Amino acid sequence: MQAEYNSTNQLTETVCVSLLMSNAPKCTDLAAIVLCGGQSTRMGVDKATVVFGHETLLQRVCRLTLTTAAPVVVVAAGNQQLPELPNGVMVARDLFPNAGPLAGLLTGLRCLRDQLPMRWPELMIWASTCDAPFVNASVIRHLQQRLAESAACPLVAVTHEGKQNPFVAVYRSSLLQSMEAQFEAGERKAQALLQHPHAILIDSGELAAIAPEFLFLRNINDNQQLAEARMRLDIPHNN
């Protein structure tokens, strides 16, 4: 059973059950946040529970992310029902309901700060969403390495065809303070984080050698995109 973090900064399951006894990699400098509390308006159902082969979208994203980062913090809505998640996953209920993706990231970062105080000062965090099933560990490691090479840089994110993506990005834990200030000032878009003067925005072309089809950039927002993603992985359409 995954641990669950709530607004009182406590875990409803002991951390050692989900982390110390898990099969997840014992990463010392990279954790992850996966947002799954969106309204899924175009899909019509909760994306976190959409069946994708032998697992749900959320289960797949967590499983693949855990090969590179641990723990994985899943940020969910307060009353959102989630599938059983792998060891190494913590669930954080959104501290700021219906306040947008920046609020979700803020919730996830506060969870990591409170639960991993010894790792927190040097921690880097991969950020993604539950509707991006083509997790690419090589891409994550590349972004992490780019961030590690620049001590002054708070984040590295990918730009593709002129669009900046805050959920194909690695952040430093030190960004939390400025993120909180932006949120308190009324900002609600995660995109605003990428305007930091020391942010590194890399073009997707830099990743072509390790991800030539750029599948890691694909999100599933409707049933057509779901069918196309299933076809990519040869998953029967009735799943």
Domain boundaries, position 47: 3-232
Beta bridge partners of 5: 11, 92
Other Cβ atoms closer than 10 A to 21: 12
CATH number reported for the structural domain that contains residue 84 in this entry:
3.90.550.10
Q: What is the pLDDT of residue 233?
A: 80
Q: What is the dihedral of CA 28, 200, 35, 205, to 10 degrees?
A: -100
> CA-to-CA distance for 173 and 34, rounded, in angstroms?
16
39 pLDDT band, cuts 50/70/90, is low
Query: Is residue 9 assigned to a domain?
Result: yes
Query: Is residue 209 assigned to a domain?
Result: yes
Q: Mean pLDDT over all residues of the chain? A: 87
pLDDT over threshold 60, residue 8: no
Least reliable range by pLDDT among 6-20, 25-39, 42-56, 124-138: 6-20
Query: Is residue 48 assigned to a domain?
Result: yes
Per residue in 91-129, pLDDT tens? 999 999 989 999 999 999 999 999 999 999 999 999 999
Query: Is residue 71 assigned to a domain?
Result: yes
Query: Is residue 224 assigned to a domain?
Result: yes
Query: Is residue 237 assigned to a domain?
Result: no
Q: What is the pLDDT of residue 37?
A: 73
Query: Is residue 238 assigned to a domain?
Result: no
pLDDT over threshold 60, residue 132: yes
The distance of Cα 200 from the centroid of its chain, to the nearest Å, equals 18
Q: What is the pLDDT of residue 16?
A: 28
Q: Rounded to two decimals, what is the model's pTM?
A: 0.89
- Those residues whose C-beta lies under 8 Å from the C-beta of residue 162, and which sit 6 or more positions away, are none
Query: Is residue 25 assigned to a domain?
Result: yes
239 pLDDT band, cuts 50/70/90, is very low
7 pLDDT band, cuts 50/70/90, is low
Per residue in 144-177, pLDDT tens? 999 999 999 999 999 999 999 999 999 999 999 9
Q: What is the pLDDT of residue 236?
A: 56
How many structural domains comprise the chain?
A: 1
Q: What is the pLDDT of residue 14?
A: 29
Angstrom distances, CA of residue 223 to CA of 131, 211, 232: 12, 24, 14
Angstrom distances, CA of residue 100 to CA of 66, 109, 114, 148: 25, 15, 22, 28
